[in-house]
Structures are given as structure tokens and as C-alpha cells.
Structure 1
Amino acid sequence: MLYNYIMLAQAQHPAVPGFLIIPFLILIGMIASGPVLFGHFWEHNYKKVAITLGLTVLAYYLFILHDVHMPIHTFFEYASFAVLLSSLYIAAGGIYLNVNARATPLMNVALVAVGAVLANLIGTTGASLLLIRPFIRLNNHRIKPYQIIFFIFIVSNAGGLLTPLGDPPLFIGFLKGVPFFWTLQHLFIPWILSIGLLCLLFFLVDSRNKETAFTPRPEVVEKNDAKTEFHFTGKRNLFWLAVIIAAIFLDPNVIDGLPHIFYDGNKFSYLREVIQLTAAFFCFRFSSKTALAGNHFNFHPILEVVFLFFGIFFTMMPALQLSAEIASSPAYAQYITPNFLYWATGSLSGFLDNAPTYANFLSLGMAKFELSQNSVVDVRHFAEGTSVAGLDTLVQLEAISLAAVLFGAFTYIGNGPNFMVKAIAESAGIKMPSFFAYILRYSIPFLLPILVMVWFLVVHLRLF
């Protein structure tokens, strides 16, 4: 989808100049360094910075390049992203789940493992927002940043590998024609491998955490040791949560007759967004006050995500176009292999948001076999493993899907829930690592070896 928009814009308008990626680099640099080097300024001005940089790139497209195609498509993608994330945040904020148990490494692993399964039913965003607060409360006497980061690795990203509901890139594939159960059939073993290894690493690291911020009262310890109890408030919000998730399927490109905005040969939904915002309103209006108070609910985390990702979506337009232009060059056609698709899709997914990156490389991978992602039949042939020139297209799609989902955890901006979980943790008083500290201290030593292992066993050797 996005790849076709990029190619259309390149055919009708001048090539994007390389210097136009500077605003994106500035924004990423400020997200990384702002909270550490100039925290007071950043806290009070991040909205202005993100909006200014995003509008600067937008103005260049409109008034210098005279390109309205890419900005309009980006706007609709951003609107869908912001509405879904905001709706889920509000719905989850009115659901109070508390676990009375000892915060042992085994209990923590069990909770994130449940989150990994749940992510395939209500999405990584829904599972993250539903479980992050109970996870923090469970560990409130021994909470550390690494626990939040492993939660991001497992629940907010890798967990959603089994269904199109799990992660936005897979949902894009489903809308394009990839069968609903294709991910469960072909990615189950990689899911078991990645979740199992991440849970094992989490258990080993968490077992070394002997520190406590305070000592629980003896009667609390005795109660938690005797019996594990779950307290749940806000059951009515489960209905609205289901409405928000079900509305995701209301895509006019899939279901004929739905109200839509038609532009540039594409149908853009607004009914879906109206339903989600309406459900979010009723969630907040009729939410249990006890649940909201127990979650210390406020709008600061979601506002931070909405404003920062406005800047990210619009400033990354040139980066996406330039990467697509390079990758689609005939000089690079010979390098479009499963190995290349895994590492290229993954590298960009970690820094440019994994949903548009998936769409980009899906189109690129199919183009090599003279297939079009605008054709549902072609996409199904691609997913089923049609042999073209002695190569199996199924391997290509597996590489793209695995990389888009798993590498989404590599940075805070790789996937929407990452930044949301970070913001909620910080609002709870947890000092989270900076952008680069996250990568250097956690992604590289813990996540990268698993990404390499998945590539070597699944994509390169084809053992599963």
C-alpha cells in the first residue's frame, strides 16, 4: 500500500532530496537526548518541537515538491493510528486488574507469557495497556526498568506474531489478501522460539533482582504466599474494548458498501474511527471511578504519544521514500532475497515504524516475482508459496513478517505500544532509559541475539 503511494509520488513529482531526512534525525535525536540533557525544556516543549518539525516536512512536500499524495496518505495512516491507540488507552484505563501474589521471577514470566497469548486476541497495544499497570503494581517493591523493557519485548511486540490482530504489519498483510490463519500456520514455531528465549532471559535477569524499594508488611507477605488472588474492576469496559477491536475490521477496501473517503484510487475509512472514538467516549464517561483512581488514570501518556508520533509520521516520509527508491533500483534486484528482506525490513522497522515498512517490503518482495500487492489473488499466491524462478515466495513473506514484528521492539519508536508503555511507566515514577540507552543496554545484548537466531534457523537454514 504505502510502497505504491511512494512509487506514484516519485513518478509524478521530483525525487525527494536527501537533506529532507534531517528533520527526522533531529526529532529522533531530541527524543533520545531531550529527557537526559535538557529535561525541563523537553517536558514543556516536546509538543511544539514534534509539530514544528512535522509541519516543516509537510510544507516542503506541499509547496516545494507540489506533492499532495504522500502527505494525504500519511495523514490517514496517522489518524487511524492515533485514534486506535487513544481508544484502547482510554478503554484499558477504566479496567483495573490487580494481582495479589509474590512478585517472583516465575510469576513475572507467567504474566508476560499470558500477555503474549492475549496480544494475538486483542493486539499488542490492547494487551500492553491492559497488563502494564497490574505488572507494575505486582512489582512495586522491586520494580526496575529492565522489567518494563522485557514487557515491551514480549507483550508489546513478539507476542503478537500469531494473528493479524496481533500487530499492525500483519493486519496490513491480512487486508491485502494474506489468509487470516497464515501467521498461525507458518509463524508458530518462530513465535515459540522467540517468546521462549525472551521469557528465559527475563527469568534469569529477574532472578538476580534482590533489591526492594520497601519491605511489605508481614501480613501482606503471608497473604500473598498463601494464595494468589486477582481483583478485577471495570467489567463494562470489556464490552467497549471489544467494540474498538471489532471496528478494526471495518475497512472499505475489504467490505464493500462501507462509508469512505475516496482519493487517488484508494478508499479511506472514517466509520471505523468514529466508532472507536465513540466507544472511547462512553468508556471514559461511564468508567468505574474506582478503576480510574486505581490506575491513576490521566491523559498525559497518550498525549505524549499522539504528539510525538505526529512528528515521526510526517518527518519519516522522506526516509521511507528514499529507502524505497534505493531498494527498488534494478541494481539491487539481485539482492532481494529472504536474508536481505529480513534484515532490511527489520532494520527499518526498528526506526521507521514497522507497519509502513512491512507494506513497503511486501510490495518490493512481490515485485521481484512480477506480482502486485494490489491483487488479492497475487498476494494469496505469494503467501501460499508459489514457486517462481526456482524460489519459494513463502520464504519471502515469512522473512518480512518476522522482521517487521520482532524488530519493532528494537527502539521506543519501532511500534506504537512501546512508547505508550514507556510513558505509563514514567508516569508511575519509573526512571526509564533514554532512547540510545534502551538500544545499547537492552536491545543489543538481549534482543539482537534472539533476532539473529530466528534469522539463522528460520529464514537462512529453513529448519522450521
Structure 2
Amino acid sequence: MLNWRSPKFPAVLATVLTALFLPVLAFAADAGHHGGPHLDGALLSGIWVIPFACMLLSIAIFPLTMPHFWHHHFGKISLLWALAFLIPFTIQFGFSLALYETVHTLFLEYIPFIILLFSLFTVAGGVRLKGSLVGTPLLNTTILLVGTLLASWMGTTGAAMLLIRPLLRANAHRRFKVHSVVFFIFLVANIGGSLTPLGDPPLFLGFLKGVSFFWTTIHMFLPMVILSAILLTLFFILDSVLFAKEGKPMPKGEAAGKGEKFGIEGTVNLLLLLGVVGSVLLSGMWNPHISVTLYHVPIELQNIARDVLLLVIAGLSLKLTHPESRKKNDFNWFPILEVGKLFFGIFISMIPAIAILKAGEKGALASVINLVSHNGEPVNLMYFWLTGVLSSFLDNAPTYLVFFNTAGGDAAHLMTDMADTLLAISAGAVFMGANTYIGNAPNFMVRSIAEDQGVKMPSFFGYMAWSIGILVPCFVLISLIFF
């Protein structure tokens, strides 16, 4: 039986991921529109969201109450809640629609999501900062600042995967380090990705819908700077207090990094990271109007090309990076496996929640959708908070699209006459992805890597106590200033 610790595991995983696309190639290329089953969210009551809610509660409760059981069976629990939605749904709406929704979710959302994470996780895991990194308040704040600045240009996931290990290594000798990872998620994995479509998936979707590349750079700059400055200042003060409480410890022995010059190992991976960013950008800018169809689901050629390129880049990283470098970087495959298994359950059980939200005024969440307008005029404050709160628990990319379309869906009009509304939607989706572990792709990955390296991270609700206590007051301030 192949173990995830085996050196053969990455090659096998890459092969499996690639093989997932092989059935698609059996279908003829087609430039037209593909008809097929359609899920009308207006037909779904709130009861269909129960498996998704149970999936979230499992992530929140089992690691606390039954940690040993959870560690060995979280994949089975994830599958259980996916089936708890799919089986009743198949009985109620038929096999054809259930298969269509599953294929649509897997091939257009889940598989591209996992391939991107796998590529970034593999490539960034090959970059190692050599020498002595001592987790002082100044160094830790500098790492958070650099990550925040990088996130808009290489994506929150790329920046997070690149810098989380150096941060953890620098603080390995510290007693208090949970706060560093929490603020890292706030800033590097979320808020830092505010300035370009490369930074966060919702903004990339806006770019595909016609929002100009630098619109977010101009309009999101001030909210992002204010929020980042507040959080970096709070972190520096908190870390300074805790550092002093620990007696200002310094690393000893091998952890001190003595005898090793400061530098970067695995620099080829920095070029490969640019390749990842380029592959994602290519899929948004190149449209040959060719697609292949898998059970009525059109999969566009540019997206297939992107995912194949990402797998090739991951393979090159494994080939070109010395295994000893990854070993010294405390690299292993468990975090990506954990994320892959848990998010399978999340993506599948989330199908009815997204469908209900897309149904707008005809769906079970009509009362929520109606809050964003009053007498025909947009209520930007509600756009900000509703987009944000829903993005905290649902995928922030489709949530962004729902409210983008609710606001009219005309990018040219939104960028000019309704700029404040578009800003509210964009800021809500990006900023409030930090509210929970599942609000944005890298959050759970960062948590998993930290726990894998011995940091006892807060539970699902424990993390939310941090976000409610620190982020929500900041969001209230942003609301008062801008909306």
C-alpha cells in the first residue's frame, strides 16, 4: 500500500490527477453551448444545506472532542457528508441531475482548485531560507509585511505557501506562536491579495467579467493599507508583549542555524512560481473558444491547458529540487492530502447552498438578497457585509459572482457609476475570507502545515474567536470610512 510519506507518492498523485482528465478527452472538441440538466435553486429549501452545516460542524467539533478518531477518519467523514447530500438529492431529483451537478463541481471547481493548491504547495515547499532566522517581533512583522505585499502579485496561496515555513522555523523555539500563524492567515492568506486579479479568486472572476486589471489596485489600495497597517501594528504589539513574557528567548543548537550562511536554496522554484502565476493568468486571457464535454459539462481548453501546465510545473519542481532540501524544510504531503479530502466534502455538500444563493429573490435566501437594495438603490454597507459573511463560510469566488450579478453584472457600469458598490463586493469577498478556516483556499492549508510542525492551532470556533475579536472591529471601521 502506497503511503503518503513514500518518495513515490507525489508522482502517483500527479498521475492520478492527470488521469482524472482522461475521460474528457473521449469527447469531441466543441465551440458551442452545451445544454443539459439544470439545478433550479428556487426549488430547494433550507433543509438541503444541513449536510454542509454538518460538514462544517464536524471540522469544528471532532478535532476537539475526538482528535484520534478525527485524525484517522476525517476523509471518511468528509465522504459521509458528501453522500448525505448526494443520495437524497438523487432520489428527489434523479440520477441525471445529480451526476451533472457532481461532474460540474468536480471538473470545473474542485479538481482545478486542488491542482492549483498541489502545484503551489509543491513548488513553494522547495524554497528554503538558509541561515539563522530568529522569531523576534521585528522579524515576524517583517515576514507578515513581505507576505502581504507579495500576495497581490503571486496570489494569497502562493505567498502563504512560500512564507509559512520560514515563519514557523523562525519561531520554533518560541512558546507563544499561535498568534503569528493567525495573523499570517489574516494578512498573507487574505487581505494581502486585494490589489490585483492575481491576488484572490473573486477578483480574478471580476477580471474575467470585464473589471480592468488595475481597477482593484486603485480602489482597494486605501482600504487594504488601512486594514493592513492596523493589523501589523496590533501584531507587533502583541508579539512584543509575548516575546518579553517568554524572556526574549533565542534558539539553541541546530535551530540557531550557526555555520550555515544566510541564503535561499531551491531558487529554481521561484521561477516555477512565476510559471504558476503565468499559467493562471493565461487561462483568463486566452480563449480559443474550444471546449470538450463531459456529461453536458463544457470544460474549456484554456482551463485544461492551465491544469496540465500546473501539474508539469509541480513535476519539474520535484525533479529539480534536491530531496534533502525539502527534508530540511520539514516538507511532507499530509497537509495537501488533508485539504484534498476535507474540501471534497465541502465542495459537494456546498452545491445546494450555492444554488439557493444564485436563485436570488426566488430562492430560500430571498430575504438576504433583498437587503442589498432599497427603493432601487444599492445599499453598499449590506453588499460589503453580506458578501463578506457568506464568503466566510461558502466559496468566496461564487459568492462574489452572485452579488456582482445582483448589482447588475455590467462591469463598465459597476466600475464607474457604481464604483462604491463594486468596492463593497470586492472588499467583502477578499477581506472576510479571513473570518474562518474555510473562507479562502490557503487558510486551511496554513493551519494544516502549522499543526503538522507541532503548533497547536485553535479549533474552528477558536479561530473564529480571534477573527471576531480582531477582524470584525476592523471591518466595522472600514464600513464607517468607505460604505
TM-score, normalisation: structure 1:
0.86
After superposition, the C-alpha distances for 1:72-122 in whole angstroms (9 at most, x for unaligned) are 432211111111011100011111124624422122111111101111111
Distance 1:182 1:148 in 2: 30
**Hey, what does 2:396 align to over in structure 1?**
354
CA contact 1:259–1:270 (8 Å) conserved in 2: no
- Aligned to 2:154, what secondary structure does the other structure show? helix
- Aligned-partner Cα distance in 2 for 1:217–1:429: 18
- SS state at 2:292 partner: strand
Cα deviations across residues 291-342 of structure 1 (Å, max 9, x unaligned)? 2011121110001011111111111111222234355678727445211111
Q: Give 1:272's aligned residue.
A: 306
SS at match of 2:281: coil
Name the CA distance, whole Å, in 1 between partners of 2:221 and 2:258: 38
The residue number in structure 2 matching 1:390 is none
Percent identity of equivalent pairs: 39
CA separation in 1, counterparts of 2:406 and 2:452? 41
Please name the residue that 1:235 is paired with: 267
Q: Which moved more, 1:110-119 or 1:140-149?
A: 140-149
Q: Distance in 1 between matches of 2:285 and 2:150?
A: 25
Alignment partner of 1:261 is 2:292? yes
Q: CA offsets, 1:37-90, max 9 Å, x none?
A: 001111111001112212332344445224355434322111111110111000
Q: Which amino acid aligns with 1:122?
A: M
**Aligned with 1:396 (options 409, 421, 425):** 421
Higher mean C-alpha deviation, range 298-307 or range 229-238? 229-238
Say whether 1:416 aligns with 2:438: no
Which range moves more in the overlay, 64-73 or 28-37? 64-73
Structure 1, residues 127-152: CA drift from partner, whole Å, max 9, x if none?
A: 00000000111111114211100000
**Which residue of 9, 15, 19 maps to 2:43?**
15
> d(CA) in 2 for partners of 1:133 and 1:91?
13
In 2, Cα distance between equivalents of 1:154 and 1:439: 15
Separation in structure 1 between the aligned mates of residue 361 and residue 87 of structure 2, nearest angstrom:
26
Equivalent residue letter for 1:40: H
Is 2:164 aligned against 1:139?
no
Query: Number of matched residues?
Result: 430
Look up the SS of the partner of 2:340 in the other structure.
helix
Q: How does 1:244-393 map to 2 (within 5 A)?
A: 244-251=276-283, 254-257=285-288, 260-262=291-293, 263=296, 267=300, 269-325=303-359, 327=361, 332=370, 334-335=373-374, 336-366=378-408, 373=409, 378-383=410-415, 385-386=416-417, 393=418
Whole-angstrom CA distance in 2 between matches of 1:121 and 1:99? 26
The question of whether the paired residues in 2 share the 8 Å contact of 1:201 and 1:446 is answered with: no
The alignment's C-alpha RMSD in Å is 2.7
Q: Please name the residue that 2:199 is paired with.
A: 166
TM (normalized to structure 2)? 0.83
* Aligned match of 2:75: 47
Change in 2 beyond 3 A, CA 1:217/1:249: closer
Query: Is the partner of 2:438 in helix, strand or coil?
Result: coil
CA contact (8 A) 1:99 1:138 kept: no
What is the Cα deviation at residue 215 of structure 1?
A: 5.0
**2:476 corresponds to which residue?**
452
What secondary structure does 2:129 align onto? strand
2:213 equivalent among 156, 180, 183: 180
Please list every run of 5 or more consecutive structure 2 residues that lacks an aligned counterpart in the other structure: 1-33
Distance 2:45 2:257 in 1: 65
| Matched-pair contact (CA < 8 Å) for 2:290–2:300 | no
CA distance in 1, matches of 2:424, 2:104: 26
Residue type of the partner of 1:195? S
Secondary structure of the equivalent of 1:232?
A: strand
Gaps of 5+ in 1: 367-372, 387-392, 460-464
